[in-house]
Chain A
Amino acid sequence: MQTFQTDLLCIGAGLAGERVAIEAAAAGFDVTCLSLVPARRSHSSAAQGGMQAALGNCAMGEGDSPDVHFEDTVKGSDWGCDQEVARLFCDNAPIAMRQLAAWGVPWNRVVPGKSTYFKGGKLFEKEEKQEKEGLITARAFGGTAKWRTCYTSDGTGHTVLYTMDNRAVQLGVAVHDKIEALSLIHDGENCLGAVVRCLKTGELRVYLARVTLIATGGFGRIYRESTNAVINDGGGLIIALDTGVVPLGNMEAVQFHPTGIVPTDILVTEGCRGDGGTLLDKNEHRFMPDYEPDKAELASRDVVSRWMTHHMRQGLGVPSPYGDHLWLDIRHLGCHHLATKLREVDEICKNFLGIDPAVNLIPVRPTQHYSMGGVRTDKDGLAYGLKGLFSAGEAACWDMHGFNRLGGNSLAETVVAGMIVGAKVVEYLRNHQVSYPTGLIRDFAAQQQDRTKRLISKADGKENVFTVRNAMYDALMHGAGIFRNAKDLEACVQTLQEVHERANKIGLRSNGRGANPELALALRLPGMVRLALCVAQGALQRTESRGSHAREDYPERNDRDWLVRTLATWQPGAPLPTLNYEPVSQVWSIPPGERGYGGGKIIPAETKE
């Protein structure tokens, strides 16, 4: 078996993984990134809208500061975030954007003079100042007090990831692509690397590292309907959970995005609403102001998604062969705006729906989009439970998002966290040495070899991998979607437990040779079901509504009992995750209060004995 050795092993080569890699490589360490796909195909490249940083350059961003950004982030999180981390993030975001500019991102810039913009379907005028000419500009996004989202047209993730990867090439970071991590190598105290499968040849390999970073992005693909890439199936979270000692934080906090298109669930960016797009029902009535007179379409995503679902439940959705949906109207923005600022949206509509958004309405519905939960880390990015294991990006629960993350805050998180965690990784590398016990490594590798053999020889059963996966989809969509309640969640947990047993009895129908895709899914599926169980069990236990987690039977946000973060670990062989809780924040710069939108009652913390 091929064995590689490196200082830092980044599992994941999206923005978060590469940003950490760059920090370590710049400090002279040897770095290897692993990725399921070439680095530039990572899902970070799909982000269209932009990333938040309080630069305050554009007219509508005047008076912005990290303090205002911090307040928006904490409110957005529904007071579920770690306020120390949110503070670190907001203070450093402007530096990260400027650094990206220096590295080559072609940010859109301030153009002085008068121009018009839309808000809620109405036309307004603004004037950009001469003295700000050529500085990085910003657009509006939901849940923000100022225009703060920096962008390059609607290809922000693409340009930022390409720039990041250019920088990685320049610094000699190695990226091994078409590689899937199957398990971490650890002794219960130290993390020592990973066992992986090469997706070009099907061979198993071992990577040994002094520091391992999990930056594998979201796990949206445990849901059937998701805006996430088909590779976002939680691989990094699974290998962390399987250690039995590393907890996953707040797995029940799953964000649905208001505007996935029907039927393919491809996302059209929040920038559409930020730039003045509106939501209409089957009567082409603009309904959001009825529920949120102030913020309307620009309330945070959890709120808009819930009102949309509520509105459709009132029978006001547009019927279609794929179920009910609503309309997104960006016709009034005009061809020029669509062709320059919302060009990917224009292409998506034309290519996947065969419609022209300048004259047609876009069919949309809320779709699974972002995982606030992930590998629980401290503010340095160090995972709980194992030394030498770090995590960053969407895969991590660093926890500046709490129970709902604001649009534009996660792309920014990948680079800001990458910068901060990267510096901590360098510090760690300078101060820690490890030794690699060969017996232990052999055992971990043998375990994966054994699993592979059993799947090919059908030693454990003949379950069809796709049928079992579909059963997981059905259970989750029904029980742990936008609205949740005890009855459906209980059924969901029970079904998922049965699905988990079946997932351990899969037998391959193909021969499993080479880069066989059936084998890849079969190796991954039991872990995906465990993640689904962490979501469902966490949601069942959390008897309150906070951010994206909405319990119909517990509509209040309950600060008295639930100002805590869920920590899920999985003991080997256990039927369910073990749930523990910790306070959401050690520091309270802003005490829990109303968000100013979204309604709902709050049970205050003071009522606690």
Chain B
Amino acid sequence: MSNQTSFWEKISRIDRRWIFLTIAITVSVPMILGVDFAAVPSPMVEDIFHRIEQLPAGSRVLLSYDYGPSTVPENQPMADALAYHLLKRGCKVYMMAVWATGERQATVTMERVVIPSFPKAVYGDDYIDLGYKAGNTGLMNLLFTNFKRMYTTDRTGKDIESFPMMQQIESLRSFNMIFSISSGQPGLKEWVQFVGDRGKIPTSGGVTAVQATELYPYYPRQMFGLMAGLQGAAEFESMVIEKYPEYAPMRTALRKMAPQTVAHIAIIVLVVLGNIAYFTTRKRGK
């Protein structure tokens, strides 16, 4: 009995660096082995996929990059898979950013997914990169009434009127659907509050896991779907791959699900061990 107690005492006083090492091993081993775990789509992610599938070709879809490099592992797979799916459906994709750091991430999507996968798609006709504009929710308010007042050029400085796909755009009401991939404020929440609800424009997107619980109350009435963290991104990727298998080599979120799952199991085990150690040592103290 005393040996057992001393074991729990050791556990309760374990150096936190052993825990860091455990997490490092649980993350790196599945990554090195290249194990792939499946992701079963949740209804919230299925709704996004099916709504895009129902969009007629030529629909105008706004894709806002509201994040930066710090949350790329979670957000970039969402943006890449969305852009791919939308272009595959023949939608016109308008990329923009409410975050200054988001502008570069839109370029990443173009270089990784759009240009290699859709060589026949024409810039300015099928997709466009409008770049970043300052103003946060003030910008959203302005775009809601007059889009071209803020966006007079694309990201590279070319006159907006020179692009065929911009001819029909007057305000945010001109879009059939709005997606925001976000990791903070302003982000998807503000797109719902300031644009989606106001103009009854179908709005959805993906957020970091930290933000997810804040967004759940908007589903399904104010937001028709949600990708929550890496899991949400992996679920969406799995649906895209099921319908369009050629996207498989470009998957990034699904590749991260094995280390994610193993790390979660390790954390659960550590939490259980920690609790047993706490209660055992507390009981002994009494």
Are A and B associated in one complex? no
Residue numbers of A with Cβ under 8 A of B are none
The interface of chain B, by Cβ under 8 A from chain A, is: none
